[in-house]
Amino acid sequence: MRNRSVTVIFGSLVLWGLITYFLISDQPVSKERDIARISNQISKLERRVKQEITLNQELLEDIKEDKQQKKKVDIINANAYKKQKDVNHMNQDKIFLEKERTDIEKNNKNAQQIQINSLYSSETSYNVPMKGKLLDGSPIIAILVFSCNRITVQRCLDQLIKHRPSIEQFPIIVSEDCQHRQTAEVIARYGNQIIHIQQPDQSDIEVPPKEKKFKGYFKIARHYGWALNYVFFQLRYDTVIIVEDDLDIAPDFFEYFLGTYPLLISDNSLWCVSAWNDNGKAGLVDEKAADVLYRTDFFPGLGWMLTRQLWAELSPKWPKAYWDDWIRQPEQRRNRACIRPEISRTRTFGKTGVSNGMFYERHLKYIKLNTEFVYFTKMNLTYLLKDNYDINFVNEVYQSTVVSFSELKSGKVVAPGTVRIPYYSRQAYKNTAKQFGLMDDFRSGVPRTGYRGVVTFFYKGRRVHLAPSANWNGYDITWS
């Protein structure tokens, strides 16, 4: 029993010794294996890192090449854009108009989408200007037609399209108010011959209780303000001719404005050119003097040209109503004059409207429309510049023979040439004006067609000046 125990103990000691030996002898091998394995992994990682670095370098090279390529493309595009900008700005127009439409939808849920009916034809180089000039340096003058609820706008548009010499030089923009379906349909028929825009704000207008019956004048002023802002500041035209939807135009309508454009640009004492003569009735104009033009302190309207510079001055203080009388106030006119013709280049056929036919039966329907084509662009019109005009005009008026209405009417005037009828009071002027059939009203103290207080017209083969005293010192606003 004892021997067996000894044997067991001895065997256990031997086994423990063997195990210890192998454990001790195996440790260096395991470490070597671990070191080898780790070295292996590091080598693999190094290879992968090198591969990644190589790959990244290749990517960086590609990026550099892409940037260089993009820069080249940008330069090419920029050059192409510059050329394209001078030739055709159709895409810019679409962007402008689309931006306007988007802004309106964001700010007014009830706003009406601006509709452009085939803005430009793909076969034409119809440009929207960036600086108001064609490639040959000729001015681009936009025609802005104001329309509301009269389908007779077709009559006006037909004449404008018929007589305009160039679609590029005289783009026609029809601004429509009132949401009148029939009128919109008529305008839409013209397709790419015009640009069709719609006044988006159709909300009701607050009107003072005493002026409720004149709400139409408030809507007109709102429409004018929006449309002129749009044409000058969005479409970026430099010069605009305003036409109402009830106007006939003369065959030389465009030639008249082209010829007078240099005067408007060069003479700071001018602020508009009008195609209208307020006293241009048959019998009060010299039908043989279709080429004669005048300066006037009275703003005529009814087909008139203005610049972006003037609109930038007027737009911040644009009135809520009665814009035409507002523009005649001394604060707006600032002693500036307009050009007007002896024989009108426009005539209104709009008997009905917001004014309910005021003056139409007595005056407007008798206005003579010019029929003789005058080449104003070939004429020297520098006599209309203020420094030239004032001296000659004053001399002609106050050196002419003084006569009375009765002498003229009876034909008893013996002296040849121009004559003068003096007036010294508001009532004296009104009495004489009525005798001749002139319009006898004043706006901010200025009589219609007046220049330095003088109203010039034609009567029984004579030039007549209805004139204040020679020492005239300005208009009296209380005469209105």
How far is C-alpha 372 from the chain's CA centre? 30
| H/E element, 270 | strand 270-274
* CB-based burial label for 397 (10 Å; 0-12, 13-18, 19+): buried
Q: Which domains does the chain have, with CATH numbers?
A: 142-369 (3.90.550.10), 400-467 (3.10.180.20)
What is the distance of C-alpha 436 from the center of its chain? 40
Neighbours of 277 (CB within 10 A): 26
* Alpha carbon 198 to chain centroid, angstroms: 14
Neighbours of 238 (CB within 10 A): 18
Each residue's pLDDT tens digit, 122-132: 223 334 444 48
Which pLDDT score, from 0 to 100, does residue 47 have? Answer: 55
Instruction: Determine the residue type at 263.
Output: L
DSSP string, 387-402: HHHHHHHHHHHHTSEE
Give one DSSP letter per residue of 314-377, joined into a string: HGGG--SS-HHHHHTSHHHHTT-EEEEESSBSEEE---SSTTTTTTTTTTGGGBPBP-S---GG
pLDDT at residue 296, as a whole number: 98
DSSP assigned state of 113: P
For residue 3, the SS3 value is helix
| pTM score | 0.73
pLDDT value for 363: 86
Question: What pLDDT score does 132 carry?
Answer: 83
pLDDT of the residue at 268: 97
pLDDT at 233: 97
The yes-or-no answer on residue 324 being catalytic is yes
Instruction: Summarize pLDDT for 227-282 with one digit per residue, the tens.
Output: 999 999 999 999 999 999 999 999 999 999 999 999 999 999 999 999 999 999 99
* Closest to 251 (Cα-Cα) out of 341, 346, 338, 157: 346
C-beta separation of 276 from 301 below 8 A: yes
Low-confidence ranges of the chain (pLDDT < 70): 1-131, 351-358
**Please, what sign has the CA dihedral across residues 191, 196, 200, 205?**
negative
Spot the catalytic one: 86, 248, 286, 324.
Answer: 324
Q: Identify the CA nearest to 152 among candidates 333, 431, 349.
A: 349
pLDDT at position 57, please? 60
